[in-house]
Structure 1
Amino acid sequence: MPDVDAMRRVASEKGLRLRAMAKEKVSIIVLGHVDADGMASVGLMARALAANGAIFTARAVPDVNLRMLHEMASEGFDFHVFCEVGSGHLKDIEAALGGKYMLIDHHQLTEEERESPNVFNVNAFGVDGSRELSGAGATYMLARNMVDDAKPMSWLSVVGALGDRQDRGSKHTLIGMNEQLAAEAISSGYLDISEDLLLFGRSVRPLHESIAMTFDPYIQGLTGNKDACLAALTSAGLLIKDSSRWRVAAELTPDEKEKLLATLSPYLDISGADSSAVWGTTYLLKREDERSYLRDARDFASLLDATGRMGKAGLGIAICLGDRGAMLTDAERTLLEYRNAIMRHLRVLLSDEERISQDGQMVQLVGDGIVQENMTGAVSNALSGMPQLRGKMILLRTITKSGEIKFSIRKGLGSQSKVNLGQVMLQSAAFVGGNGGGHDSAAGARIPAVKADIFYEKLKSGLR
């Protein structure tokens, strides 16, 4: 059973420590992962530090390595806060920074991390960090103790959890402590929950574009094909324009939504899904503009993911801190570029037979020269929903700028495997002198290029 009381007690101790540092004007750097959960985590910590008048810098990185840590140490910060990044790298962090750090995370942890006084990891208290509490949720546990009233920030923990695909409950609801944090956001007047269509850009994009740009789930015959979507909607007799204005999914009437679900049903069927994949619990941020990508918390998460992975993390962090001007305009443009980039990667990877190899239940896709290292997680997430990869173990690899090999692995839609991918990647990477880890159904690793083949064989052995 989770020891929530112990977790809250430790979170209080660490949060109060950071609050004291902020008030003492200790120079702090906040480092987060480039994915949506990492960006939301950085945003939460930055808000809490700013409320205390802290001197701080906030950044997002795709990974942690010893070279980067030494470079950061040379910058002269007094303290370093890692949010949703750094697990599996404790020895390197200690070597570069000594004890001047705090690591806040929800990924599976090592025994060294479990015993470290500088680590706050929700898994150490029996909370399932892959389903019940995200990295942003873990950060919020500390932020609660850094400001007098943290509830106005609680909505960011919801964005992080949805970005980490933790809506694992019935009808795509958040569960566990994520659900409790969502309740806080509701009670504080920042969040509303209802049941509706689960399509990308549901309150912003024209209906046919919204369907075409949705790849969770991947809808065979429609995802990535705006013309096919337009034809399907027109054939079904759905009103897609109001005078000269394109209509959006959020404004459809209940009857029109039923007709849309019926229209999508045969496409979902051949994709190995049904209407429940595109209908469920929506989390709406009440204080955001109704025609903004920030209105739907899932779209907000996608925007943060885009800014982080496309090398524009500053935009996402600024939006988490409240910027709704030019930064938001740039971020929305980046979001569309990001979604289009993922679709391009999927098309190239799946159309080039030389990039695909299958070994039993594992399918490896080689993204060398195509998929940038920042994008491996996002592309592997999209691949995991592809009908042709249903039930498979999906391994995506690419070459990093430093010449290493980065691997990202996912369980494909419908996979019945009980293998803990985070543990297998951690052990396989360590076997060849690399670093790896993650969750039970999604994980990654960074490996010396000369050891890639050995790593692959070790990974296959661990997946059996």
Structure 2
Amino acid sequence: MFLEEVERMAKIFKELIRRKHVRIYAQYDTDGITSASIIAKVLIRENCNFELRVLKQLNSKTVKDVNFNENDFLIFLDMGSGQINLLKDAIEKTNVLIIDHHQPIKYEHPNLLHLNPLLFGEDPEKYSTSLLSFIFAKFVNPRNIDQIDLAIVGAIGDRRDEGIKVGAISNIVEEAKVLGFINVTKDLKFFGSNKPLFKVIAYSFDPLIPSIYGNEAAALQFLQDLGIRLKNGEEWRTLKDLTQEEKAILADGIIREKNGMVDYSEIFGEIFVLSKKPDFLADSREFSVIINACSRMGEHDLGIRLCLGDYSVYSKSMEKMEEYKKQIAKTMSFIENGRILEKENGIFIIGGKEIPDSLIGVITSLILASKKPNKPVFGLAYDSLTNMIKVSARKQTTDNINLRDILVNVASELRGEAGGHKDAAGAYIPVGKECEFIEKINKLVGEINAKK
């Protein structure tokens, strides 16, 4: 049923792009950018002109930036399913395609093509929008099979690789291996194999070492204390220079440094090497973070150009990557000084105007990874674009609560908006409602936990 519907939508898509002006609106994270790049490549191959715009979010404020008339064909990627109520005017006046894996609002209209796994009884946690876009692209033209590596990069950016053994990602990885687009190995989960080892350790998100993060001198000392040689002659050693014995020593050192709050499965993992990309983009995790970094630093076009094969922007994209890592390190240091409020049923990061709203989701994830709390983490930061407070929420996958439902409940009471997944969700609430939001969240999570 699901694939039959994708095929049906692809046929309608091919007819619409022949007679309408295409406008693409994509969410600005790695999943959205890779999805936009896949669909852009499809349109280029169909000799179709189009416009592409990247949005942080689609909500009641930003929907005003969605321009259209009856001669347009609107495409929304990695957003739209939960914002159908905001798009009804567009849907009633022109044709709309939504490719998304977030919780959808059920709505049927002859002008609407809505590709979301939840609408077909599929598990949305096993899909990213990039995977859905790739499946769709193959039905438009089998030639688009060569976009399979971008689909995997997007899935990794959306953390769908955590369910690699099941679902769509598993099937697509196997297909990519057979076709020679990726090699899968088991190794340290750090990325940046050509960079000095101490820099890789200092700025690693996964695994994250809180006592070292952002501090290159501390990373150097950490490696020296482990007895790991730092240089080969005058050259700094890199990840790929490490012996198997040194990798084991490094893993043991990380476990000790984190007081046993991490195990080998979080340090070693499956590494997806992109066989048909240049060496500097061959590590799928690094490619994913580069795309995300460029977007978070306000340069969405760099990630799209890299995805489309314009490698002339690689140097500039790496500059943005370095800015991104240093900004995160600075922010992590900042919030540890009185910006974290711990309540009975949640941890709250009070970002205000000091933490960029584009980074609050990343910071929330890093606090969850570093502290490993048995309660959810909520990050709050001011968003100047909407003049609202942006909320990012994260929790351990073992915690059996639904963050999306919790945020939808509380945000609606405060005249805000929310969406996302059960383990990672987001919201926008009015400025000045932060304290009320925190109290309501703390109370609601407590009530849910009491019923377990």
TM over 0.5: yes
2:128, 2:156 → 1: CA distance? 9
Amino acid at match of 1:429: A
Query: Equivalent residue for 2:181?
Result: 190
Deviations 1:197-230 (CA, angstroms, capped at 9, x unpaired): 10132x1321111111112232132222221221
Query: Equivalent residue for 2:450?
Result: none
1:377, 1:208 → 2: CA distance? 26
- Given the alignment of the two structures, is residue 369 of structure 1 paired with residue 326 of structure 2, yes or no? no
Deviations 1:223-251 (CA, angstroms, capped at 9, x unpaired): 22221221222233323322222222133
Deviations 1:86-117 (CA, angstroms, capped at 9, x unpaired): 23211111124534311111112234489994
- Given the alignment of the two structures, is residue 55 of structure 1 paired with residue 61 of structure 2, yes or no? no
- Tell me how far 1:268 sits from its aligned partner: 3.5
Q: Is the 8 A contact 2:81 2:116 kept in 1?
A: no
Deviations 1:325-365 (CA, angstroms, capped at 9, x unpaired): 1x1111111111112111211111122x2x22222121111
Query: Equivalent residue for 1:3?
Result: none
2:168, 2:214 → 1: CA distance? 35
- Tell me how far 1:75 sits from its aligned partner: 7.8
- Given the alignment of the two structures, is residue 158 of structure 1 paired with residue 152 of structure 2, yes or no? yes
Q: Is the 8 A contact 2:91 2:109 kept in 1?
A: no
- Tell me how far 1:58 sits from its aligned partner: 1.8
Partner of residue 302 from structure 2, selected from 290, 310, 315: 315
- Given the alignment of the two structures, is residue 149 of structure 1 paired with residue 164 of structure 2, yes or no? no
Partner of residue 102 from structure 2, selected from 97, 101, 107: 107
Partner of residue 228 from structure 2, selected from 216, 224, 238: 238
Partner of residue 116 from structure 2, selected from 108, 112, 121: 121
Partner of residue 251 from structure 1, selected from 236, 241, 249: 241
- Aligned residue pairs total 444
Query: Equivalent residue for 1:28?
Result: 22
> Secondary structure of the equivalent of 2:115?
strand
Query: Equivalent residue for 1:442?
Result: 424
> Secondary structure of the equivalent of 2:353?
coil
- Pick closer, same or farther for the CA change 1:71–1:62 going to 2, 3 Å: closer
Q: Is the 8 A contact 2:349 2:364 kept in 1?
A: no
> Secondary structure of the equivalent of 1:261?
helix
Deviations 1:262-314 (CA, angstroms, capped at 9, x unpaired): 333311335x1123211110001112333x1x211111110111111211111
Query: Equivalent residue for 1:430?
Result: 412
Query: Equivalent residue for 2:449?
Result: none
2:416, 2:111 → 1: CA distance? 21
Partner of residue 329 from structure 2, selected from 330, 333, 343: 343
- Tell me how far 1:391 sits from its aligned partner: 1.8
- Tell me how far 1:76 sits from its aligned partner: 8.0
Query: Equivalent residue for 2:272?
Result: 283
> Secondary structure of the equivalent of 2:23?
strand
> Secondary structure of the equivalent of 2:209?
coil
Amino acid at match of 1:145: F
Gaps of 5+ in 1: 1-5
Partner of residue 79 from structure 1, selected from 49, 52, 73: 73
> Secondary structure of the equivalent of 1:168?
helix
Amino acid at match of 1:42: A
Partner of residue 91 from structure 1, selected from 85, 102, 113: 85
- Tell me how far 1:64 sits from its aligned partner: 1.1
- Pick closer, same or farther for the CA change 1:458–1:259 going to 2, 3 Å: closer
Q: Is the 8 A contact 2:189 2:267 kept in 1?
A: yes
1:95, 1:448 → 2: CA distance? 25
1:313, 1:400 → 2: CA distance? 18
> Secondary structure of the equivalent of 1:32?
strand
Amino acid at match of 1:319: L
Gaps of 5+ in 2: 447-452
2:66, 2:33 → 1: CA distance? 19
Deviations 1:399-432 (CA, angstroms, capped at 9, x unpaired): 11132111111115xx742111112222332333
> Secondary structure of the equivalent of 1:145?
helix
- Pick closer, same or farther for the CA change 1:461–1:10 going to 2, 3 Å: farther
- Pick closer, same or farther for the CA change 1:320–1:113 going to 2, 3 Å: farther
Q: Is the 8 A contact 2:78 2:101 kept in 1?
A: yes
Partner of residue 376 from structure 2, selected from 393, 406, 409: 393
TM-score normalised by L of structure 2? 0.92
Q: Is the 8 A contact 2:348 2:438 kept in 1?
A: no
Q: 4+ residue runs of structure 1 moved beyond 6 angstroms?
A: 113-116
1:76, 1:250 → 2: CA distance? 55
Query: Equivalent residue for 2:293?
Result: 306
Q: What value does the CA root-mean-square deviation take over the aligned residues?
A: 2.3
Higher relative CO (CA 8 A, sep ≥ 6), structure 1 or 2? 1
Q: Is the 8 A contact 1:86 1:103 kept in 2?
A: yes
Query: Equivalent residue for 2:390?
Result: 406
Query: Equivalent residue for 2:441?
Result: 459
> Secondary structure of the equivalent of 2:26?
strand
> Secondary structure of the equivalent of 2:183?
strand
Deviations 1:29-60 (CA, angstroms, capped at 9, x unpaired): 11111111111111111111111111112222
1:223, 1:454 → 2: CA distance? 33
Deviations 1:103-150 (CA, angstroms, capped at 9, x unpaired): 1111122344899943211122232223x1111111112111122322
- Tell me how far 1:455 sits from its aligned partner: 4.2
